[in-house]
């Protein structure tokens, strides 16, 4: 439905799903094993898994009656790449703003902070 990045963020926005991911990072598990700690029905867990699966975070095999769930850790990269890009951009901008303020504070008193005239507005 939505782009994968949206699905990834949405999938991890739920504490239960985050906990499932955390446990799957340790070991693969069946649906029943995953459901056991939570106080919800097996069907609810199955739905959560469907969300994780369609986000690409998880794959399911089949062994006997059980459907072992496996974490696909590499898709995390999509999120970290996105985050780091804009985090870094904001960081750099902050550094530049700092430099501007330094330049303004240098020749003056040093306590001035109320006139951050912004030249390039869009």
Partner DNA sequence: ACCTTGATCAACCAGATGGTTGACAACGAG
Partner DNA sequence: CTCGTTGTCAACCATCTGGTTGATCAAGGT
Q: How far apart are CA 58 and CA 48, in angstroms?
A: 11
Q: Which helix (H) or strand (E) holds 71?
A: strand 69-71
Per CB under 7 A, the list member of 18, 47, 70, 96 interacting with DNA is 47
Q: How far apart are CA 15 and CA 9, in angstroms?
A: 12
122 scored as a contact of a second copy (CB under 8 A):
yes
Which region among 63-71, 77-85, 94-102, 104-112 touches DNA (by CB under 7 A)? 63-71
Q: How far apart are CA 101 and CA 86, in angstroms?
A: 22
76 scored as a contact of a second copy (CB under 8 A):
yes
Q: How far is the CB of 112 from a second copy (least distance, A)?
A: 17
86 scored as a contact of a second copy (CB under 8 A):
yes
Residue listed under structure tokens 């699905």:
7
**The Cα angle at residue 101 between residues 100 and 102, in degrees rounded to 5:** 90
89 scored as a contact of a second copy (CB under 8 A):
yes
Name the residues that contact a second copy, by CB under 8 A.
2-3, 5-7, 9-10, 12-15, 18, 21-22, 24-29, 33, 71, 73, 76, 79-80, 82-84, 86-87, 89-91, 93-94, 118, 120-122
């Amino acid at each position: 439905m939505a782009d994968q990045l949206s699905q990834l963020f949405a999938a991890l926005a739920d504490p239960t799903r985050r906990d499932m991911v955390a446990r799957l990072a340790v070991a693969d598990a069946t649906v029943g094993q995953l459901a056991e700690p939570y106080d919800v029905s097996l069907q609810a867990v199955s739905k959560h898994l469907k969300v994780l699966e369609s986000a690409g975070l998880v794959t399911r095999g089949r062994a006997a009656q059980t459907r072992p769930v496996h974490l696909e850790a590499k898709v995390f990269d999509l999120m970290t790449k996105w985050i780091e890009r804009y985090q870094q951009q904001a960081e750099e901008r902050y550094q530049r703003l700092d430099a501007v303020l330094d330049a303004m504070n240098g020749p003056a008193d040093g306590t001035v902070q109320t006139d951050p005239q912004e030249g390039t507005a869009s």
